A = this chain, B = another copy of it.
Amino acid sequence: MNNKIRWGVLGGGGDSLIGVLHRVAASMFDAYQLVGGAFNPDKQISIDFANQIGIPTGRVYKDLNELIAQETALPEDERMQVISILTPNFLHFPMAKQLLEAGFNVICEKPMTMTYAEALELQEIQQRSKTIFGLTHTYTGYPMIRQMKAMIANGEIGDIQKVDAQYYQGWINSIIHDAAQRSSTWRLDPAKSGISCCIGDIGVHAYQMLEFVTGLEVTSILADLNHLYDDNQMDIDGTVLLRLGKHKKGVLRASQIATGEENNFTVAIYGEKAALKWEQENPNYLYLLEDGQPLRVLKPGHDYNHPVSLDGTKLPPGHPEGIFDAMGNIYKGVAKAVRGQQYNPAEFPGMTDGVRGMHFIEKAVQSHTDGNVWVKL
């Protein structure tokens, strides 16, 4: 028996990209061993997949119920210790709920739930069950995001006076401008995707990131969303004005109709003494601006970085790491928590991020629907 964390996965089979991402991430620090799961609603397909990826099939289950029943029947030192939920969005909440109630630690893909009410319910269960819950706001795993958070917490940019985040993509253009496609895609169907498309899918990443790096809480918002067509029920673009305290203002922009943009997520935090800027598509650069001083560009792996940033870099400076490495860092953080080791809260986002995120999504839609008015968070 080795001392790796016994890890199970729900979903993520077949050609699933997210499945690959989680398996690679889990492998990065030799901390997890995939022991089983339910990769597909069809058990035989799950078993075939287990064979394909080369894991034993004895703990491949028909469904979550079977998994919980059989795993809880195992001695504690054989039972799965962490289970990752990579299933379609609408299953995140019910699966997480069952798992947390049964005492399993969970890593859950975004969105955590479909509604804020569900999020609150999940939070209550987790607090009761004293389980560990990681939510894959993957971008927080980049070393320079961790560095940004650490520098701000350390007072290196002074009191924050302005925040600005952008998350621009263009992929929905090919759908939205075609009446047939926009009426049939699941992403634009509230019954299948919840009340928001753009804010729910990517705006919430920007929101979570702003709170993550600043350590501040957004207190109220005013949202202006865009549906682009009268027959489209879901936002595919939006700007959200933010308050993070008296005189602390900000703005968050998200779009899926920003033609030609890939995954252009940027964050800028302006403090009294300095500012920090970061771009997801070039994640290994952190820009430090000071009035009257040369711009400085910080990169991963240097001694000048904070320990929590260095902890997320595997190779020496000049060897670019990417999104798989960011996810790997989150898995590493969860592993520390599961093993009862000391860790920095920056190492993985969790329940609070999920609860606040769902609240943000619902309030953004409400602010927009009510006529672009301020709503408290």
Contact = CB atoms under 8 A, between A and B. Distances in A.
Contacts of A237: 161-162, 249
A338 interface: no
B274 A317 contact: no
Given A20-B29, A30-B53, 11 more contacts: A17-B314, A17-B316, A23-B27, A24-B24, A170-B275, A222-B372, A226-B249, A260-B274, A280-B318, A281-B318, A296-B297
B292 A275 contact: no
A100 B177 CA distance: 49
Contact of A374 (B30, B261, B271, B372): B372
Nearest to A305: B294
24 contacts: A2-B54, A4-B53, A4-B54, A20-B29, A21-B315, A24-B328, A28-B324, A30-B52, A30-B54, A33-B54, A170-B275, A224-B251, A228-B247, A255-B270, A257-B270, A260-B289, A261-B318, A262-B318, A263-B318, A263-B319, A292-B302, A293-B302, A295-B297, A319-B323
9 closest pairs, A vs B, by CB?
Answer: A260-B289, A263-B318, A262-B318, A4-B54, A2-B54, A27-B27, A322-B322, A30-B53, A320-B322
A341 interface: no
A364 to B, nearest CB: 13
A120 B224 CA distance: 31
A107 interface: no
Q: Is the interface of A mostly helix, strand, loop or mixed?
A: loop
Interface string A11-37: 000000100110110011110010000
A170 B315 contact: no
B298 A294 contact: yes
A199 to B, nearest CB: 14
A259 interface: yes
A119 B121 CA distance: 58
A365 to B, nearest CB: 16
A291 interface: yes
A68 interface: no
A288 interface: yes
A303 B293 CA distance: 9
Interface in A299-342: 299, 302-304, 314-325, 328
A299 B322 CA distance: 14
Interface string A35-73: 000000000000000111111100000000000000000
A227 interface: yes
A271 B173 CA distance: 10
Contacts of A323: 315, 319-321
